[in-house]
Structures are given as structure tokens and as C-alpha cells.
Amino acid sequence: MDAKEFSKYVKERYESEIQWYDQKSASNKKLNNLFQILVIVTAAVLPISAILEYKWPTVVLSAIVAVCTGILTYCKFEEHWHNYRTTCETLKKEKHFYDARIGDYQDNNDPEQLFVQRVESLISQEHTKWFSTVKKTKK
């Protein structure tokens, strides 16, 4: 792989994957935190509503807790957040290893090819994790 092809790969594939995983990690973290906070706050207000014998607010608050908990379980925001963040950071680490020529890059005759292979392998592994997570959700 020549320098021009490698540079194109890094700009068009590698950097876009880093950006995608970073954005997806952040959005899943936000959604996870939002629903967790809703569950916590609603669950804290629920007993007060019940003690004050507010029938409809108690029912609505109970439903909100159930719905938010169900969404957290079904959508697996936390699991996706961790998987995406791990993949993003592992991809970043791979570039640092390549740039410093350490690890497997140290004595390699074609470090660019090795970098591309390792990056594609990491992306493929994450796709497998994603599929496994989604498949567990559907069961």
C-alpha cells in the first residue's frame, strides 16, 4: 500500500469510523443517563404520591417507571455506549501504536497494511458485538 492510498484510507475510512463511534457512544451515554435519571426521580416521587393518596398521579408515575425501565432494558443504551467507547478508544490506540512504530508495527515490513487489517478487524469485531447485543434484545 503506497502513502497516497494509506492517507486516503486514514482520512476516508479510519477517521470517519472514529467520529461515528465517538458520536454513537456519546448519544447512547446521554440516552442512558436520561432514562436512568427519569427512573430515579419518578421512583422517588412515587411513594410520596401514594402516601398522599393521589390515585392518578400514582398510576401515571408507576407507568413512567415501568416504561423507562423497559426502554433501558430493550434498547441497551449502556451496553452500546460501552461497546462504542471501547471500540473508539481501541481504534485511537491503534493509530498511536502505528505512529510510534511499537508493538506489532515495530519490525513490520508493511506497517500500513497491518494498520488497515487491524482497524478492519476491530470494526468487524464491534459489528459482531452489536449483532450479539441486538439478538439478545429480541429474545
pLDDT in tens, 97-128: 999 999 999 999 999 999 999 999 999 999 88
**What pLDDT is stored for residue 135 in this prediction?**
74
What's the mean pLDDT when you consider all of the chain? 94
**What pLDDT is stored for residue 131 in this prediction?**
84
How far is residue 137's CA from residue 139's CA, in Å, rounded to a whole number?
6
Q: Are 85 and 32 within 8 A, CB to CB?
A: no
How far is residue 94's CA from residue 111's CA, in Å, rounded to a whole number?
11
pLDDT at 139 > cutoff 70: no
Using a 10 angstrom Cβ sphere, with 0-12 exposed, 13-18 middle and 19 or more buried, the burial of residue 62 is: middle
Number of domains composing the chain: 1
Q: Are 21 and 13 within 8 A, CB to CB?
A: no
How far is residue 83's CA from residue 80's CA, in Å, rounded to a whole number?
5
**What pLDDT is stored for residue 14 in this prediction?**
97
Question: By three-state DSSP, how is residue 108 classified?
Answer: coil
Enclosing domain of residue 16: 3-138
Residue linked to cell 487491524:
118
Instruction: Specify the length of the chain in residues.
Output: 139
pTM, 2 dp:
0.87
